[in-house]
Amino acid sequence: MSLVRQTTNGIYNLILGLAVTVKHLFKHAITLQYPKERWTMPERSRGTVVLLSDTETGKLNCTACLMCEKACPVAAITIEREKNPETKKFEPTSFTIDMGICCYCGLCEKACNFSAIKLTGKYEMSIYDKSELIYDMDFLQKLGRDVKYEKRKRVVKKTAVKKATAKPKTTEARAESGDKKAEGTSSTKDDGDVKEKPKNETEEGKE
């Protein structure tokens, strides 16, 4: 008796499962033929890191404040900078990102107060040699040419620049003086950053 019951039960459930499969037979495909078709990456997509340039002057937005270098958890960013004798402002002389060790966390973008660095939706970066994954400044700038972005408010930028230039320091001196000094400048800058950011985002959320 129980054997009959078991068998009918089993057959019923097998058919039930089969029915689910058949139901899906007539639905359209959800896959994408990759090289021919591509996903549109969402706006916030965190792929290749690029450096952004000013849309008018075409110069890099980066002021070589080294905040992103400090924020990076894997030390993928290396910046060398020099003071421009004319404008008395720092300018990056070399800016390299090792994409091979970058973990695409986005902390550099979060740390930057000058809308100078961004993670974009670009993801096709396969190469044959590992050394080609170390992107230099020119390449990063080239990558960032067509990236649309919203510049942070000028006000924030100006005050932040003042602070940065008020304490001229070389990379070594900053490194030697340890965390404490850097902390002072960073936390003041941070205020401007944090104030602005949640505002933008909450607005976005409410819309």
Partner 1 sequence: MTVKELKTEEFMVNMGPQHPSTHGVCKLVIKMDGEEIKEITPHVGFLHRSIEKIGENRTYAQFVPYTDRIDYVASMNANHAYVIAAEKLGGVEVPERAEYLRVIMAELNRIASHLVWLATFAIDLGAVTPFLYAFREREMILDLFEMTCGQRLTYNYMCIGGVNWDIPKEFEPKLREFLKIFPSRVDDYEDLLTNNPIFLYRTKNIGILSKETAFEYSVSGPSLRGSGVKWDIRKAESYSIYDRFDFDIPVGYNGDAWDRYRVRMREMRESAKIVQQAIDGLPGGDIQTKVPRTWKPPEGEVFTRIEAPRGEMAYHIVSDGSTKPYRMKIRTASFCNLQVLPIIGINHLIADLVAIFGSLDIILPEVDR
Residues forming contacts to partner 1 in the complex (CB under 8 A) are 6, 9-10, 13-14, 16-17, 19-21, 24, 30, 42-46, 67, 71-73, 103-107, 110-111, 119, 179, 182-183, 186-187, 189-191, 194, 197-198, 201-202, 204-207
Nearer to ligand SF4, 29 or 166 (CB): 166
Instruction: Provide the minimum distance between the beta carbon of 182 and ligand SF4 in the complex, in angstroms, as a whole number.
Output: 12
The burial class, CB within 10 Å (0-12 / 13-18 / 19+), for 204 is exposed
Burial 4-39 (b: 16+ CB within 10 A, else e): eeeeeeeeeeeeeeeeeeeeeeeeeeeeeeeeeeee
Q: With binding defined as CB under 6 A, does residue 143 bind ligand SF4?
A: no
Distances (CA, A) of 168 to 83, 90, 161: 9, 9, 11
* Contact of residue 202 among partner 1, ligand SF4, none (CB under 5-8 Å per partner type): partner 1
Least Cβ distance, residue 145 to partner 1 (angstroms): 20
Nearer to ligand SF4, 13 or 55 (CB): 55
- With binding defined as CB under 6 A, does residue 156 bind ligand SF4? no
In the chain, what's the furthest Cα-to-Cα distance?
Answer: 97
Task: Give the separation between CA 185 and CA 100, rounded to whole angstroms.
Answer: 30
- Which lies closer to partner 1 via its Cβ, residue 86 or residue 207? 207
The region of 22-30, 58-66, 134-142, 169-177 touching ligand SF4 under the rule CB under 6 A is 58-66
Site for ligand SF4 in 100-119 (CB under 6 A): 102-108, 111-112, 114, 116-117, 119
Rounded to whole angstroms, the Cα distance separating 190 from 159 reads: 12
C-alpha–C-alpha distance, residues 11 and 190, integer Å:
66
Which residue do the tokens 């960073």 mark? 186
> How far is residue 24's CA from residue 38's CA, in Å, rounded to a whole number?
24
15 vs 103, beta carbon nearer ligand SF4: 103
179 binds, among ligand SF4, partner 1, none (CB under 5 to 8 A by kind): partner 1
Inter-CA distances, 71 with 78, 80, 163, 185, Å: 12, 16, 19, 14
Binding site for ligand SF4 (CB under 6 A): 49, 62-68, 71-72, 74, 76-77, 79, 97, 102-108, 111-112, 114, 116-117, 119
